[in-house]
A and B are shown apart, each in its own frame.
Chain A
Amino acid sequence: MVRKDDIKLIDAVVKAAGLTKEQRKLPHRAISGEQLSYREILEEAKAIQRDFPGKR
C-alpha cells in the first residue's frame, strides 16, 4: 500500500471515532508495527476513547 494511503486510513479512523488531538496519539502507538484493517483500527480507537474520555 502507498504510505500516504496508510496515513489516510488512520485519518479516516480518527474522524469516524471522533478522537481529539490528544486521544489520536494513542491509536498511533497502538497499531505500531501491525497490519490492521480499517475495522480493527476503528475498534482500537473506540476502546481508547472509552478508556481515555473527556476533553482529552
Chain B
Amino acid sequence: MQAAEFAAAEIKVSLVGRKCWYAYTSVGNTFQVALGRKIPRGAEDLKARAGLAARREARGAVETPADAEFDRFTGESNLLVWCSWRLDQGGSPLTSWDDQAGRAEAGVRGLVGRTVKAVTVGPGWNLQVEFTGDVMLLVFPDHVGPQASFDGNWELWRPDQAYLVGTDLTCEVIDRENRPMQLQPRQGRWRLEDEAK
C-alpha cells in the first residue's frame, strides 16, 4: 500500500464513528472541529492557551464555556480546514467558506453533537465527511502553488501525529514535534524520517 493510500485509510478510521463536541470558525471562515474523546492538553499547550484566553478577555472577545473546554482538552481527532469548504444538508447547501461570517459560524457550530457516519477521501485530497442528520461537509483543497493564499489546505490532528494536505496536494505526516514521518510499508506503520534512513 502506498503512503497516500495508507494515510487516507487512517484519516477515515480517525473520523468515522466519532462525535463532534466542539467547533469554531476563525479568520476567512476557516474552521476547526474536535471529535471523539476529550484528551487533556499538555502543560505547554495549557500555558499557551491560558495566555491566549487572558489576552482575548482583555480585548473583550466573547469566550464561551465550550471555548474554555477546548483550551483544556483536545479531541481524539481534530479537523482544521484552511481551504474552501461547503456544508450541505439533505442535498441542499447550508453554508460555505464564502458565506457571511455569522452564517458560516452557525453552520460549523451546528456540527456539534453530530457523529461522523462516513468519510471519502477523493482525488486531490478532496474530503467528504458525512455526519448524522444528513449533513455533508465537503472540503476542496484549492490552495495550490507557491502563491497560494495559505500554506496548507486541511489537516487532521491526532494525539500522536498529524496529516497535513499541502499546496502540492500531497499529504505530509508529522509527529507532534513537527518531525516528518515516513511509511514503513512492510510494518504498516509510520516512523520518523530520520530513523527510517
B179 an interface residue at 8 Å Cβ cutoff? yes
Q: Are B150 and A10 in contact (CB under 8 A)?
A: yes
B11 an interface residue at 8 Å Cβ cutoff? no
The majority secondary structure among interface residues of chain A is helix
Q: Are A7 and B178 in contact (CB under 8 A)?
A: no
Given contacts A6-B28, A11-B149, whether A48 and B98 have CB atoms under 8 Å apart is no
Shortest distance between the CB of A47 and any CB in chain B (Å): 6
B37 an interface residue at 8 Å Cβ cutoff? no
For the complex, what is the distance from the CA of A22 to the CA of B131, rounded to whole Å? 27
| A: number of interface residues (CB 8 Å) | 32
The residue of chain B having its C-beta at the shortest distance from the C-beta of A51 within the complex is: B48
Which chain B residues lie closer than 8 Å to A7 at the CB level?
Answer: 27-28, 30, 82, 149-150
Which chain B residues lie closer than 8 Å to A28 at the CB level?
Answer: 26-27, 30, 32, 80
B119 an interface residue at 8 Å Cβ cutoff? no
B190 an interface residue at 8 Å Cβ cutoff? no
Which chain B residues lie closer than 8 Å to A26 at the CB level?
Answer: 48-49, 52
Q: Are B44 and A52 in contact (CB under 8 A)?
A: yes
Q: Are A25 and B32 in contact (CB under 8 A)?
A: yes
Which chain B residues lie closer than 8 Å to A52 at the CB level?
Answer: 44-45, 47-48
Shortest distance between the CB of B56 and any CB in chain A (Å): 7
Q: Are B52 and A29 in contact (CB under 8 A)?
A: yes
Which chain B residues lie closer than 8 Å to A11 at the CB level?
Answer: 148-151
Residues of A near any B CB (own CB < 8 A)? 3-11, 14-15, 20-22, 25-26, 28-34, 44, 47-48, 51-56
Could you list 15 further interchain pairs (A-B, Cβ under 8 angstroms) beyond the known A28-B26, A33-B105? A5-B28, A6-B28, A7-B149, A15-B151, A25-B32, A25-B157, A28-B27, A28-B30, A28-B32, A34-B59, A34-B61, A52-B47, A54-B177, A55-B177, A55-B178
Can you name 24 A-B pairs with beta carbons within 8 Å?
A3-B28, A4-B149, A10-B30, A11-B149, A11-B150, A14-B151, A15-B151, A20-B178, A22-B177, A25-B32, A25-B157, A26-B52, A28-B32, A29-B49, A30-B52, A30-B55, A31-B27, A33-B26, A44-B55, A47-B51, A47-B52, A48-B52, A52-B44, A54-B44
Residues of B near any A CB (own CB < 8 A)? 24-30, 32, 44-45, 47-49, 51-52, 55-56, 59, 61-62, 67, 70-71, 80, 82, 97-98, 105, 148-152, 155, 157, 162, 164, 174, 176-179
